[in-house]
Amino acid sequence: MERFLFLTFDGLSRGAVYAAFALALVLIWRAARIVNFAQGAMAVATAYAGYSVASATGSYWLGFAVAIVAGLLLGAAVERVVMRFVDHSSPLNGVVVALGLVLVIQAVLGMLYGNEYRPAAAPFSRSAFQVGGVALLSRFDLFVFAAVSAVVGLLGLLFTRTAVGLRMRAAAFAPDVSRLLGVPVAGMLTLGWALAAAVGSLAGLLVLPTELGLHPNAMDLVFVSSFTAAVVGGLDSAVGAVVGGLVVGLLLSFVSGYLGATVAPMAVLALLLVVLLGRPGGLFTRGRARAA
Amino acid sequence: MSALLRVQELTAGYGAAPVLHGVDLTVPAGTILAVLGANGAGKTTLLRTLSGLLRPTHGRIRYDGTDLRATPVEQMVRLGIAHVPEGRGVVTELTVDENLRLGGLWRRDRADARRALTEVYDLFEPLARRRHHPGHQLSGGERQMLALGRALVGRPRLLLLDEPSLGLAPRVTAQIMALLRTLRDTTGLTVLLVEQNVRSALSVADQGVVMSLGRIVARDDAASLRADADLRHVYLGF
């Protein structure tokens, strides 16, 4: 029972990060109908930028802020310089370009920082509180929950309560009509990429301290888990991404806890396969596939 | 009366084959021009070219002293040009209220944008009742009201209306035509009204042009066009 509780909380904590990363994938999917396979590499690149600043200044939070801002800029740049020129007649084109971007980013990071693991700092203690003799949650876990909840809440407010959010949704759903109504559609697309990349950066900062550390390939497995989470949720649904993230987090935690860590990646792939075969539209598409 | 819109030798189309072959048009300010013709005559293409969704390969478009060929689509609404596309103008994923607010987001005068929104709700009572329903739940008539209402929130000077009567009950069509006449008389609105429903279009229009295969084949006062039996028979089918 203790073990079950521990694995549950551990799974939810991991799942929260997958949820944030899946949310970033959903943001770009909804804005541009592209699955951004480069998102993991982009998040690592901004984490390195934050790491450089943090080591130079000794301030974790300054590095944190730099990484998020770098995410905004990198996302905007990727859309403006690369994705805008992708021919969208076949959905595969965007995927291939994104995979190419992964190779470029990882190669550049390898040249700049080398291919050894560097320690990724956590801003709070990762040792868990003892509740009734059971280790459940650490301060860092609480920070993860708070940060992800804040991002989900703020994005929700942005899209449903603000003029910019309304413009972004309209531009994604009906570009021509939106342009006739004066919406700068291209700018909204850039903004969508910037926001998504910043959310991806945040997810990277939250997950890297729990993994082996900073490395150009450090987000590869996280990407697979988060992509699965987004597909479970249906790619179009923000709620689906969050639920999908938590489901994948729990699955990974239980499988590695009871069956062994080596089996865990296979469990994620099995889940992806089951969802794609059984409900290719995801679990949250019926009726609200294209809802706000 | 001075011309608000002057189109000269306009040629445009999709790919290599032009749909419009040298169209000339003059629309005086504060008048309604009916653009008539059968399916495939180029009426919708004409509107799309005027609002910048389609770029002409040849010809000139002058609007109130501005060259529209050099104007980005996003700027048209700021010049006072509202294009209500045929049938599909409503963003069906957004609610009625969101669609209407979208029509006024570009405006700097926020207070007047809110006033215009209230006016549209007063004008189209069904929209007020379905304020928070998503667009895909609306009937055809309600969608048409929403698309037109959204254009009016921007307080346009030139309205490009594509088939507003499409799929509407005759009573609703008559309401919309009466509304256009009222707006012309009270606010000086200028309208380019593309219609298959010739009778109702000519009942409200000041002038009319008849298009066939991308050319204008007749132009006259609306009353004369109504009376011209040969023209009606050959091009308009009634």
What CATH number does the domain containing A55 carry?
A: 1.10.3470.10
Domain annotation covers residue A131: no
The reply to whether residue A182 touches residue B53, judged by beta carbons under 8 angstroms, is no
Looking at the structure, tell me whether residues B147 and B178 fall in a common domain.
Answer: no
Name the domain boundary from B155, B171, B193: B155
pLDDT of res. A121: 85
Q: Confirm whether A285 is domain-assigned.
A: no
Among residues B155, B178, B198, the one where a domain terminates is B155
- Same domain for B69 and B6, yes or no, is yes
Looking up tokens 């050099």 gives B70
Q: Mutation target for B interface from A173, A177, A183: give the one with most B CBs within 10 A.
A: A177
Of the residues B127, B155, B183, the one at which a domain ends? B155
Range of the domain at B136: 88-155
Does residue A58 fall inside a structural domain?
yes
Mean pLDDT of A261-281: 89
A92 in a domain, yes or no? yes
pLDDT at B225 over 80: yes
**B10 and B61 part of one domain:** yes
Q: Does the pLDDT at position A227 exceed 50?
A: yes
State yes or no: ipTM above 0.85.
Answer: yes
- CA gap B235, B4 in Å, rounded: 27
Residue with token string 């215009």? B116
Residue B169's pLDDT is what?
Answer: 85
Q: With a cut of 70, say whether residue B1 has pLDDT above it.
A: no
Close Cβ partners of A21 (under 8 Å, ≥ 6 residues apart)? A39, A43, A199, A200, A203, A204, A207, A222, A223, A226, A229, A245
How confident is the model at residue A285, as a pLDDT?
63
Mean pLDDT of A20-41: 94
Whether pLDDT at A130 is above 80? no
In a domain, A246, yes or no: yes
Q: What is the DSSP letter of A121?
A: P
Hey, of A159, A162, A181, which one would you mutate to test binding to chain B, going by the most B CBs within 10 A of its CB?
A181
Q: How many CB pairs under 8 A join A and B?
A: 66
Tell me: do B136 and B196 sit in the same domain: no
Q: What is the pLDDT of residue A54?
A: 95
In this prediction, residue B237 has a pLDDT band, given cuts at 50, 70 and 90, of: low
Q: Which domain holds residue A199?
A: 2-124+137-278
Domains: count for chain A: 1
B61 with B174, same domain: the answer is yes
Interface contact A181-B77, CB threshold 8 A:
yes
**Residues B58 and B27 grouped into a single domain:** yes
Residues of A in contact with B53 (CB under 8 A): 176, 179-180
pLDDT of amino acid A218: 93
What are the structure tokens assigned to A26, written together? 């959903």
> Is the pLDDT assigned to residue A291 strictly greater than 80?
no
Q: Are B24 and B38 contained in the same domain?
A: yes
pLDDT, position A146: 96
Same domain, B198 and B106: no
Structure tokens at B5: 């819109």
B38-46: average pLDDT:
91
Please report residues of B whose CB lies closer than 8 A to that of A163.
Answer: 101, 105
Distance from CA of A92 to the nearest CA of B (A): 25
Average pLDDT value for residue range A37-41: 96
A272-282: per-residue pLDDT in tens?
999 988 888 88
Per-residue pLDDT of B100-141, as tens digits, reads: 999 999 999 999 999 999 999 999 999 999 999 999 999 888
Q: What is the pLDDT of residue A289?
A: 40
Looking at residue B238, its pLDDT comes to 58
**Does residue B83 sit at the A interface (CB-CB below 8 Å)?**
yes
What is the C-alpha separation between A126 and A139, in angstroms, rounded?
A: 6
Tell me, yes or no, whether B177 and B136 share the same domain. Answer: no
